[in-house]
Each structure stands twice: as C-alpha cells, then as structure tokens.
Amino acid sequence: MSLDEIKISRAILSRFMTKFSDCLELDVAIVGAGPSGLMAALRLAQKGHKVAVFERKLSIGGGMWGGGMMFNEIVVQEQGAAILKDLGISVEDAGDGYYTADSVECTSTLTSLACKAGARIFNLMTVEDVMVRENRVTGLVINWSAVDIAGFHVDPLAVRAEYVVESTGHDTEVLRVVRKKTGERLLTDTGEIMGERSMWAEVAENTTLENTKEAFPGVFVAGMAANATFGSFRMGPIFGGMLLSGERVAELIDERLTG
C-alpha cells in the first residue's frame, strides 16, 4: 500500500474535529490531568458521564511521573494501595502500612484506563477563563497552550459543562480566575483562596479528602488544589490522597448529576 501524506493529514484533522466538537458540551469538564483529575475522569466515565480533561502540558500525569524529587516511585497507604491494586497496578509492601508503586506504571495505567472508559483527554490546551451564568460556572474558556506560551493575540474557544473539576494542583488556576473575574466569594472561610501551607503529610492526606468539595457553584475542587483552596498543608510524594480525592469528587458530582 502506498502512503499518501494528504490522506494522513486529512485523517488526523477529521478525526480530531469530530472528537473535539463532540466535547463542546459535557457533563463534566476536568482541568488538569494530574492523578486526581485522571482518577476523577476514570470514575466519572465508568459511571457513564460525558467527561473530558483539559491539560496544559504535552504530557499527561501532572506531578506523578516524577515520584519524589525525580525518584520515580510513589508511596501510598492502605486505601491508596487498594485502589492501585484494583486498577491492576503492581504494589510493593514497604512495611508499617506503607506501599510503593512505580510512578510510570501508575501514570500510564491510570491514563489508559481513563481513555478506555470513555474519558476524552485533550493535552496542550490551557484553560484561561470560565463561563459564568447567574453566579454559577457553566463552562471553560480554552486556548492552545502554544498560543498562551507565545503570548499571541488569539481569541479562545468555549466548552459548556454541567460541572467543572478544578484539579490544577498547587496553582488553583480555575478558582483564581473565578474569584478575580466574578468578584464573588468562594465557598471557603475567607471567601478567598486560602493558600497552601508547609509540608505535613499526615494531616494533608486526610484534609485532601475533606477539602474535596464544591468551592464555587458549579466548580468542585480535587487533589492538591483542594488543600490550596481551603488552606491546608502539602504532603509531598505520597499519592493516596490524590487518588481518593479523584474518586470522591466523582462520587459527589455523580450524586448531583443523577440525584
């Protein structure tokens, strides 16, 4: 069979346009493909919801690839280990209730399972703003990351969603823009993003789950962004809280969508 470059190009364009166009109206739009965002995407897709993830970078996985300080192993506790095993990821017992897993296997398996469950992942797209109607976030405003990086003067496109998951990690980029542009209070004690505190793994793992909740009408926060939003601690390279937070946000949104 001869290869025709134009047919290759046309296949990419037409397939991408179909996929992207199908995702302009979603049940759930997830911002950030770190462990919490990927886990949320997997569980929401498994529940039959129409879900897409928008990730700024070329690579999917956020901070999980690098383990701790580029030693590419992650640590989880019992509950996290149970999730990883359930996903078919190899887990090693490190004693005293600690377990380790290869961060590359974790990231690639989670990504693959989310895609196979039906979640669409769009890399190289940056969420720069949100759509708001009557004090509720109703969607995302997105642009190519290359446009953002180059500082080009190019207008974005929009995606409508019943719910948005803010899983952008430390930077809490979605809620930052919501607070700035609406001028409305977030659902935190101060009404502001309260900011992440220094490292305290034990407390941070628990509060990640407690802080996984709606932080503005239409926006649920998960992962490190949850602790940054509600003023809790960072936890370093222990990832069970991220996975549990992704599961939790999927449950909360599923209740809203089906309740």
H or E element at residue 257: helix 240-258
Q: What is the DSSP string of 152-184?
A: -----EEEEEEEEEE--GGG-HHHHHHHHHH-P
Which of the residues 134 through 173 are near ligand FAD (CB under 6 A)?
A: 167-169, 171, 173
How many residues make contact with ligand FAD (CB under 6 A)? 28
Choice between 2 and 31, CB closer to ligand FAD: 31
Contacting residue, 20, 46, 47, 57, with ligand FAD by CB under 6 A: 57
Rounded least distance, CB 2 to ligand FAD, Å? 40
Rounded least distance, CB 28 to ligand FAD, Å? 15
**Residue 126 sits in the site that holds ligand FAD (CB under 6 A):** yes
Rounded least distance, CB 222 to ligand FAD, Å? 7
Which of the residues 61 through 120 are near ligand FAD (CB under 6 A)?
A: 62-64
Contact 69, 49 (CB under 8 A): no
Please tell me whether residue 26 adopts helix, strand or coil conformation: strand
Q: In what order do the strands lie in the sheet with 92-95?
A: 73-76, 98-102, 92-95
Stretch that binds ligand FAD, among 18-26, 97-105, 183-191, 223-231 (CB under 6 A): 223-231
Instruction: Please give the backbone phi and psi of residue 51, each rounded to the nearest 5 degrees, phi first.
Output: -135, 140
